[in-house]
Structures are given as structure tokens and as C-alpha cells.
């Protein structure tokens, strides 16, 4: 009886960093928090309604539970008035005359479908803090 060699998969950590910082991002149905020692995500991790990029945090968002990113007119709801503001900026990029940084919810420098998804998730809310 002979015993053959057992093949084992070889794993390697090609790159690891220690990132400093953290913060929280809150929405109507989720909370995302980060802590020290999170590994970089390269390339970005994406899903149907999110993108997660690794690296250093550029700032911290401490949004109250009832804050609405899309409540542009501060009237405690997200309605057609807010849609008009968002629609006026849709398709623009940083530097364009109609660019509105408040409508760039994901902070990628342009107002696109990623931002529209976030606006759509808030549309119809009536519990916004003003």
C-alpha cells in the first residue's frame, strides 16, 4: 500500500496595511462603522446599492438617526421639491456649474446613478430632522 502526497493549497497575504481612523455612516435602514486595523479593499467591494472603498477615512459622519441627506430644503421631508434640486444636479461633476456637493451622497465627485439610488431610498420620508 502506498500513500500519495497530499496536495495543499498555498495561501499568501500579498499586501496588508494598518489603516488609522474610523467613523460611522447611518441611513434609514443601515449603519456602517469602521475601526482601526481594517484591511484595504482593493478593488472596491460593490453591491446593488453600495460601494465600499478601503483606505484612510477622509472624515467622520455622525448623522442622527432621523437625518435625511436628501432633505435639501430643510422642511422635514424628502419630496418633489428635493427631487427638483437633485434633478438639477444630476449628471454633473465637480467643477460643473450645476454641481451640488450636497447631492453627491457617495462623495465620488459626480452626481450619478449611485447618488440617485441613495436619493430614492430617502424619497417619501417625513421624519427628517430639519
Query: How big is the CA angle at 76 (ends 85 and 64), to the nearest 5 degrees?
Result: 105
- Domain architecture of the chain: domains with CATH: 1-63 (no CATH), 65-130 (1.10.1330.10)
Using one digit for the tens of pLDDT, what is the confidence trace for 21-36? 555 666 666 666 655 4
CA–CA–CA angle 69, 59, 81 (5° rounding): 15
Dist. CA 121–CA 68, nearest whole Å: 10
Q: For the whole prediction, is pTM greater than 0.85?
A: no
Q: What is the pLDDT of residues 31-71, one digit of tens each?
A: 666 554 445 545 666 666 666 665 544 444 455 556 788 99
For residues 73 and 85, the answer to whether their CB atoms sit within 8 Å is yes
Amino acid at each position: 500500500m502506498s500513500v500519495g502526497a497530499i496536495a495543499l493549497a498555498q495561501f499568501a497575504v500579498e499586501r496588508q496595511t494598518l489603516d488609522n481612523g474610523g467613523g460611522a455612516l447611518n441611513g434609514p435602514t443601515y449603519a456602517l462603522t469602521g475601526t482601526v486595523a481594517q484591511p484595504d479593499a482593493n478593488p472596491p467591494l460593490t453591491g446593488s446599492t453600495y460601494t465600499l472603498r478601503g483606505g484612510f477615512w477622509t472624515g467622520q459622519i455622525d448623522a442622527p438617526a432621523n437625518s435625511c441627506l436628501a432633505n435639501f430644503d430643510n422642511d422635514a421631508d424628502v419630496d418633489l421639491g428635493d427631487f427638483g434640486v437633485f434633478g438639477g444636479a444630476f449628471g454633473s461633476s465637480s467643477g460643473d456649474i450645476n454641481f451640488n456637493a450636497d447631492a453627491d451622497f457617495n462623495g465620488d465627485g459626480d452626481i450619478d446613478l449611485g447618488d440617485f439610488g441613495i436619493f430614492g431610498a430617502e424619497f417619501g420620508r417625513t421624519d427628517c430632522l430639519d
